[in-house]
Structures are given as C-alpha cells and as structure tokens.
Structure 1
Amino acid sequence: MTRDRVAVIDPSNFTPPYDHHLCEGLADNGWKVKLFTSGKTNWTPRDYERVQAFYPLTEGRVGDALPEKIRVLGKGTEHIIGMLELVKRLNRWDPDIVHFQWLPLPFVDVPLVRLIGHIAPTVLTVHDSTPFQGSATSRLQRFMTEKGPQVVDEVIVHTEETKAKLVEASVPEKDISVIPHGVIRYPITAHLPTNNSEKTTVLFFGNVKPYKGVDVLIDAVARLPPEVRQKSRIVIAGRPHGSADKLKQRARKQGVTESITWELGFIEHECVGAYFKESDIVVFPYRHIDQSGALMTALPFGKPVIATEVGGFADVLTDGVHGRLVPPDNADALSNALADVLTDKDRRAEMGDAVAELADNTYSWERIAEMTTELYGEALRNQRE
C-alpha cells in the first residue's frame, strides 16, 4: 500500500509516552504523521509533527487560576471547540487514516468521530476496557463510551482479554485487532542517591491507586521471612490518588515501616529511568488491568518482574521465565514469589535477561508499527470496497 498521512488524536494528552513512540514508529515505517493533542510533553518529536489542538486556556496559566469547577466546565467547552476545529483541520490536511487514542468526552466525541469517518477511515485504540477505571461521571458518559468502538472502522486492543470484553459488549470481532503495547524507553538523564545498604531493591512504580494493590504489597512484605525482609528494600514511587495516609498506617500496623521507602509525588521525566535502573526487581500487584505502561517501561531495563496474573501481565510475562505471576489480591502468594526471587541472585539475572529480550524483539515499535500499518491497509481496502 502507498503510505501517506496519518492523524493521531489524543485530545487530553493522556498517554504522551505511548503517543510519541507510536508516532515515531509509524514515521519510521514511511508515514507522514501529525499528533493532535494538548499540554506539554517531555518527548521531543523527531520525525512527526505535534499540533497543540486542544485546551489553550484551561491547561495554561488561565486555567491554573480558576476554581476547579469552573476550570472543568471551561475545559469541557474548550473540548467541544477543539473537536469542531479538528474536523476543519482534518478536512484541510486530508489524512489517509485518523487514529484516535482516547475519546475523553464521549457524548461529544462519538458523533464527531462519525463525521470524521467521511474524511478518512477511523481507528480507535482501546487502552482500557474499563472506561475511566469505572468512575465515569454519568450513565450517558458510560453509554457513549461504550459506543466509541462501535462507530470507528477498526479497533486496536493490546490483549486478547480486552478483545473478549469488547466482543461481549457487541463490538464485531472482525473489527478488532490485537496489537501489543510497545516498550517505553525513558532516557536516563538523572541519578538517584546510591543504595549503600546493599539491600535488594523491589520497585513499585506508577500512580498509587486502589486497583494497583499497594495495600496487598504491604501485606506481602509483612509475610516475608524476617531474614529476607531485613535484606530487602521496597520502594513505592509515584503520585498517590488522594491521600496515602491509610497505606502508611497499614505499613505501621504490619510492622514494615522500616522496609518501605515512600517516594510519593510526581516523578519527573528525567528521573523515571533512574528508578528502574537502580531497582533489582519490579513488582505490579494490580487487582485488574488491560495493559500497563509501567510494565512496558520496565522491560528495557531487564529486571525480573513479579506481577499478578491479570490482563497484559499474563500476556507479556511467563511465570518462572521473566519473573513470577501470582493471583490478584493474594498477599501470601505475592510474598512467596517475592521471597523466591529475592533469595536467588543467579535466577534474578536469568529472568532479567529474558525480560530484556522481550523489549528488543516481541514488543519493539518496529514490529508494532508494521502491524499497525497492516491494519491501516485493511481499513483503506474496506473503504474502497
């Protein structure tokens, strides 16, 4: 197929690392790419154009000065204006494919996606089969979110589990393609204080939200044999969703305060890579997930991963090869897996090598861009027919 223009749309700039790597991969595969998004980014476009198309006021100094309720209403208004302007921009640029990453205001976005479908075939990546992590603000919002995958020409998901959920929600199976989430490669431009304690470092990284199971991790650390726990250091790094006081109280009650280092707050872009580089094991005790950007960030660093056997973790990792997989919400199983990997340095090295191989081959953006290009070709053929 002739490769020409693809418009990638992420209005709220929800997934800048994913957007960047996808756009670079598509550009390397011969596409001319424009990313229509908002806000600031730490990812510098090399071979694609980044267009500031949404929220010029509410995501700037004006928005910072507004009360929260007014800012939210203003952002909703700006979203409608931005989407209407997007239709005009796309008409002028005349792309061959329009690829949506997110539809953040579905009762506005879904009708306009139908309209944009008259300009070019439309593709939607469903990153999360549980919209808004189950916290959509109204029945209308939830209903229209479910309509999103039904109004585009092609749907991309990252796991077979997500595909099954969409089929159950009446999205035609023939319209759904499973294309993996690629690795996220953060540059290492900052350094953390050296761990001089000689303890083995276990890293939890990412926004601290209830579904991510940090409470289960705390319970699992408490169940470690004392001699293992004394030689281990658990780092919990990320921005908490609300207060982390209950988690800290849980750690005190379990008697593991000295075993846990809390690095709570926004982790600057230049520090992300350093956290993974300085860790020995990465842990993801999630209760549920489709695919995890934090997992895909971890892979290039070649560290063994201990995760729950849910969603993308089960698709990407093989128990005993890349680390350990355990049932969700099971502190005993998680503790046993931690102890297993913590006490065997040679095995950790073997697992780390296997993880690094995943990053270099199966989940490379070169492969993912090729799969995405094949999908675009299918969409264009269906349009001609």
Structure 2
Amino acid sequence: MINVLAFSLGRLGGCVVYATNIINNFSQPHTAIVSRYCNENVPCAAVQVPTFRSMISFVFSTLFYLPMLTLWLLPSLLRHRVYYFPYYHPWNPWFIACGKLLGKASVVTVHDAVFHPGEGTAIEQWLMDASVKWAAKIIVLSMPVEVQLRQRIDSKLKIHVIPHGLIVPDGLICKPRQWQAKPNIAFLGRVNAYKGVQLLVDAVAGLDDSEFDQLLIAGRHSVDIDYSGIPDQKKQIIDRWLEDGEIAAFANQCHILALPYIEASQSGVATIAIAANIPVIATRVGALPDQLKGGAIYCDATVDGVRAALCELIHSDLRYQECVSALINEQMELSWAQIAAQVEFVLCN
C-alpha cells in the first residue's frame, strides 16, 4: 500500500474534471488537495485550500500565502510517499521541489507539451517544463505528447502513455445515435484560435439549407468569429463557460460533433462524443485519430476539407452508422476505473 497526495489546484475546465474522475477511482489510500475556488465537482474527502482567482491575487498568494500554506500542509507532505499532479498548475513546481527536499517522488500528467497559441506565457511554459524535469515520472495522454517532451526536454524521461477517460456529464444520453437527413452540427468547448471554429463556420456556410438543421457553437469565446455567413435561424451561439448539465443538453441535441482543430494534442470533448456515440468530423492533428479511431471522418484543416467531411456524414446513413459502431467499441477501454488503475500502477511502481 502506498499513500498518494494528489494536487488539483485549478478552478474550472476539463483538466479539473479529468483529475476528479481519476482521484475518485483510486483504490490506494490518498488525500486530495483542491482549490477552495473550484467551480467543478471536487474529489471525495478533499482538503480545500485557498489559491487565487486573478493575476493580482496570484502574485500576492504566491509570494506570501504559498509558504504559509506549505507549512500548514507539512504533516501531509511528510505522511504521503508520492505526490501526484494530474495537470499543470503554476504552483506544481513549488510542491514538487518541496517533495524532492523531503525525499518524496512526484508524478506529473502532461496534457500538452507546449501551450497552445495565446494560452500560456513564457513564464508558464518554463514552470511547466520545470515540473516535467523535476518529476520522477511523467504520464501523457497520447504518443504525440510523449514525442514532443522527449524532443524538447529529455529523451530519457520516464514517460507512460495513459489515455483520457470518458467525460460523461450528468444527463448525457449515451444510447447509439441515429442518422438524420438534416442533422444538428455542434462545436462544444472553449472557442480559441487553434480550435478552427472559423473553418467550421465557413464550411457550414457553404452547405445548402436542406443539408443541416442547425449549427451550435457553445463555449466561451477568446477570439472573434464571423458568423454572418449563416442565417440567424440556422445557428445558435453560446459565448460563456458551460455547466455540466448544459454540456449534456447541447450534446444530446447534436447528431454530428465537430473538432476542426488547427492543432491539438488530444481532446476532452472527443471523450464526450465517444461516451454519447456521436459521430465526429475531425482534423488529422495530434492524437485525435488515436482517440476516435473509426468514430470520426478525418479531414485537412481547411474549409473545403471540413465541408467534405460533413457531407460524408450528412449524405451517408451507412458511413454514419459505421462511426457509431466504432465509438461503441471505444467505450470499453476508456472507463475511469481502468484509467485510474493504470495511473495507480505508475504511482506505486
């Protein structure tokens, strides 16, 4: 038996959901340190601590509060044998360094080897790289991230590839989808420059009105998107953070889920598609083909490529049902219990 101290210090987003699902399925004794300001579900029996909610509070909390928090957590830091960091947080390197001083091993999960354009600063990239260099072992969610880490940091890193488990928001309908002659097409998640939402919008604008019912774009926008090419009655645009129930409701409405990413490592939204048996159109970037396998139609990150992939699902009942069948097969390997067991094996050996 080995005691694990898990740090989930983020406030919201898919990485926090990932961490909670992993930690809740641990069989080994463990303690979870989580942010008091977390807006997602937190692990069972978690210890909630103040973190920060803005850049100003980050500077103050890091300089003055973090050392005091460390002293308060010292009994836990001493009692546990392994520290686990399921995603990047600016405070991770501090606790990894504390662990090294105390003779404790740290295991870090890296979702992206490099921040996506517009997402992270040079300082944050340095902090993430430091977490990787100082950790005893690294977990990545896909082979492309492993390759990037070995090329960027050290070819001798101890890296384990463990895929992302299925995200199943409350209320998500998980029965096989049926082909529709006029489908609802959806993009779910943050609208960032690298996610190619403008490609999707322009591709859908080139479809005939008879080929789709509605385009749904739901998620907080960090870039401006030109939606003028699609009539108001054929689009639904939601520009804000989504609650779990909303994500489920939007996913339940759609017949085709779009991942037109310009670049990506992997996608948490892809796991929702797998769980809900929603056929996907996806670009050939990162680990998306490894995640979705036969559950998607793949295309180049161009307007014509995205439109052609959409048309393949819109006009072929057979192709649509082939994707549904492939997604059902994928579900068997991605339960959180199995994923957590693989993570525990890395932590304990």
Using structure 1 for the length normalisation, give the TM-score: 0.79
Structure 2 residue 22 is the aligned partner of structure 1 residue 22: yes
State how far apart, in whole Å, the 2-side matches of 1:189 and 1:314 are: 23
Q: 1:152 aligns with which of 135, 148, 153?
A: 135
Query: What amino acid is the match of 1:100?
Result: F
Match of 1:232 in 2: 213
Match of 1:365 in 2: 336
> Deviations along 1:71-118, whole A, 9 cap, x unmatched?
3433444663466247514335x1232111244326xx4354133133
Task: Describe the shift of the 1:201–1:159 C-alpha distance in structure 2 as closer, same or farther (beyond 3 A).
Answer: same
Contact 1:206–1:294 (CA<8 Å) still a contact in 2?
yes
Structure 2 residue 193 is the aligned partner of structure 1 residue 210: yes
Task: Describe the shift of the 1:114–1:72 C-alpha distance in structure 2 as closer, same or farther (beyond 3 A).
Answer: closer
Q: 2:57 aligns with which of 46, 71, 74?
A: 71
Superposition deviation, residue 35 in structure 1 = 1.6
Superposition deviation, residue 297 in structure 1 = 2.3
Q: 1:241 aligns with which of 222, 226, 244?
A: 222
Superposition deviation, residue 127 in structure 1 = 1.1
- RMSD of Structure 2 on Structure 1 (CA): 2.7
Query: What amino acid is the match of 2:49?
Result: A
Match of 1:65 in 2: none
Structure 2 residue 291 is the aligned partner of structure 1 residue 325: no
Task: Describe the shift of the 1:86–1:294 C-alpha distance in structure 2 as closer, same or farther (beyond 3 A).
Answer: farther
Superposition deviation, residue 326 in structure 1 = 1.3
State how far apart, in whole Å, the 1-side matches of 2:161 and 2:70 are: 30
Contact 2:273–2:279 (CA<8 Å) still a contact in 1?
no
Task: Describe the shift of the 1:185–1:69 C-alpha distance in structure 2 as closer, same or farther (beyond 3 A).
Answer: closer
Matches for 1:1-385 after TM superposition, within 5 Å: 3-14=1-12, 15-26=15-26, 30-38=27-35, 39-43=37-41, 45=43, 48-55=44-51, 58-59=52-53, 70-77=56-63, 80-81=66-67, 84-85=70-71, 88-92=74-78, 94-105=79-90, 109-117=92-100, 118-131=102-115, 133=117, 135-138=119-122, 140-188=123-171, 199-225=182-208, 227-228=210-211, 231-241=212-222, 246-247=224-225, 250-252=226-228, 254-318=229-293, 321-328=294-301, 330-359=302-331, 361-378=332-349
Task: Describe the shift of the 1:189–1:294 C-alpha distance in structure 2 as closer, same or farther (beyond 3 A).
Answer: closer
State how far apart, in whole Å, the 2-side matches of 1:310 and 1:339 are: 20
Paired residues, number: 339
SS at match of 1:262: strand
Query: What amino acid is the match of 2:196?
Result: G
State how far apart, in whole Å, the 2-side matches of 1:79 and 1:225 are: 58
> Deviations along 1:280-305, whole A, 9 cap, x unmatched?
11111111111211112222111101
SS at match of 1:324: strand
Task: Describe the shift of the 1:334–1:90 C-alpha distance in structure 2 as closer, same or farther (beyond 3 A).
Answer: same
Alignment gaps of 5+ in structure 2: 174-179
Match of 1:382 in 2: none
State how far apart, in whole Å, the 1-side matches of 2:222 and 2:172 are: 27
Match of 1:383 in 2: none
Alignment gaps of 5+ in structure 1: 60-67, 191-196, 379-385
State how far apart, in whole Å, the 2-side matches of 1:80 and 1:285 are: 40
